[in-house]
Amino acid sequence: MVKCNRCGKKAEILLPYGPHNFCRAHFIGFFERRVKRTISRHGLIRRGERIAVGLSGGKDSSTTLFLLNKFFSKSNEIIAIMLDEGIPKYRDRALKIAEENCKKWKIHYVRKSFRKEFGITMMQIMRKIAKDENLGSTCSFCGVLRRYLLNKVAKELKCGKIATGHNLDDEAQSILMNIFDNDPKRLARLGAIAGIGETAEFVPRIKPLYETPEKDVIAYASFNNIKAYSEECCPFKWQAKRNLFRSELDKFEEKSPGTKYKILSFFKNMKPLLAAEQKKEKLHKCAKCRSITSEKNKYCMVCLQLKKVKK
Ligand code: SF4
């Protein structure tokens, strides 16, 4: 019998990167201390500020909401923001679970849709892309529109931060993707607090699970009976470039536990150097919607993307 490193009872989870073996109670304690450490070490949440959580209904964002509500419900107001991209039999089902969780945990939530906000759904965008592959990938549209809408709603709600469910795996994948794309500007925007720096236009995005591996999130959600959508994947997921990075990184992690942490440590060491690159980024107003953008173009990415599919 494998024993818990802390109490000697039967271990219920083995974490090869430690290595650590934990019973359920000691794993939960270990997991929550690490998330609290991430929050305090990176100064993610200020006492009293209103925090939005981007809630998709999946395990990462549901766990983030559960944890922030557990840690901060007495000192901060937590609001969930749900975005419906218009992907039937996927997001509608995931958001149903998200709404159930909010009701169960007594958390206020706001739900917005691409259809109402942009006058187009991801299914309609996908149909346009199917006819013209030069338009780009479905996910590149979805990501731009989601980030914009999340920021807009959080600003309207006067939130000081937007928490997302990004975990260690997501961050390690993003670091490598930006290196492979030779994109130091995007690389510089990564981190526990993400984005293009302090401006009144952008609500900073924070990642409480930044130092937490995905497998640990799955175990924590299961041990705490956090209901999350886990059935069908998004029908467009196969298009995401990230998939290749995910599967290769998982292979490295299996052969050499701790690889994902090492990639994150490398990035943390590089971040001060990258900050100089980030300061060079010039921001300007989009000629169409007047929102602040870091793009070199006259228009922001949202206007550029919508122009392609709303001709
Ligand atoms: Fe959007 Fe792509 Fe994610 Fe589907 S897989 S929700 S299209 S970003």
- Note the pLDDT tens digit of each residue in 217-275: 999 999 999 999 987 778 877 777 889 999 999 999 999 999 999 999 999 999 988 88
Q: How far is the CA of 296 from the centre of ligand 1 (A)?
A: 25
Mean pLDDT of 76-82: 98
Q: Quick one: which of 21, 68, 19, 61 has its CA closest to 261?
A: 19
Answer positive or negative: Cα dihedral of 303, 307, 309, 311: positive
**To test ligand 1's pocket by mutation, which of 84, 114, 142, 232 has the most ligand atoms within 8 angstroms of CB?**
142
Pick the residue with more confidence: 68 or 231? Answer: 68
The set of protein residues with a Cβ atom below 6 angstroms from ligand 1 is 85, 122, 138-139, 142-143, 234, 236-237, 240
172 vs 190: CA distance, rounded Å: 10
Ligand 1 atom 6, closest CA: 234
The rounded Cα 208 to chain-centroid distance in angstroms is 9
Q: How far is the CA of 131 from the centre of ligand 1 (A)?
A: 19
For ligand 1, atom 7, name the residue with the nearest CA.
139
Which residue reads 């983030």 in tokens? 64
Residue 84 corresponds to which tokens in the numbers above?
């419906």
Question: Does residue 279 carry a pLDDT above 90?
Answer: no
Measured from the Cβ of residue 261, the count of other Cβ atoms closer than 10 Å reads 15
At residue 198, the pLDDT reads 61
Residue 241 corresponds to which amino acid? K
Whole-number pLDDT of residue 136: 83
Measured from the CA of 142, which atom of ligand 1 is nearest?
A: 1
The 10s digit of each residue's pLDDT in 170-192 is 999 999 999 999 998 889 999 99
Report the separation in Å between the CA atom of 236 and the middle of ligand 1, taken as the mean of its atom positions: 6
* 139 CA: nearest ligand 1 atom: 2
CA atoms within 13 A on the CB side of 179: 12
- 39 alpha carbon – ligand 1 mean position (Å): 27
Q: What is the pTM of this model?
A: 0.93
For residue 142, how far is its CA from the centre of ligand 1 (angstroms)? 6
Out of 87, 144, 236, 242, give the residue to mutate to test ligand 1, the one with the largest number of ligand atoms within 8 Å of its CB.
Answer: 236
Alpha-carbon distance of 233 to 22, in angstroms, equals 30
The answer to whether residues 81 and 188 touch, using CB atoms and an 8 Å cutoff, is no
Query: With 80 as the cut, is the pLDDT of residue 199 above it?
Result: no
CA gap 209, 61 in Å, rounded: 9
Q: How far is the CA of 63 from the centre of ligand 1 (A)?
A: 19
Q: What pLDDT, in 10s, does the model give residues 122-149?
A: 999 999 988 887 888 888 899 999 999 9
Residue 83 has pLDDT above 80, yes or no: yes
Whether residue 295 has pLDDT greater than 80: no
Within 10 A of 292 (CB to CB), how many other CB atoms are there? 14
Average pLDDT over residues 283-292: 85
Average pLDDT over residues 154-177: 97
Beta bridge partners, 13, equal 22
Q: What is the average pLDDT value for the chain, to the nearest integer?
A: 92
Are 210 and 171 in contact by the 8 Å Cβ rule? The answer is: yes
Mean pLDDT, residues 206-223 taken together: 98
**Domain 48-282 homologous superfamily, CATH:** HUPs (3.40.50.620)
What is the Å distance from ligand 1's center to 167 Cα? 17
For residue 19, is the peptide bond before it cis, meaning its omega torsion is within 30 degrees of 0? yes
Q: Taking the domains of the chain in order of start, what are their residue ranges?
A: 48-282
Closest ligand 1 atom to Cα of 138:
7
Mean pLDDT computed over 194-219: 89
| pLDDT band of 196, cuts 50, 70, 90 | low
Q: Rounded to the nearest whole angstrom, what is the distance from the C-alpha of residue 16 to the centroid of ligand 1?
A: 30
What does the pLDDT read at residue 179?
95
Query: What is the band of 294 on the pLDDT scale with cuts at 50, 70, 90?
Result: confident
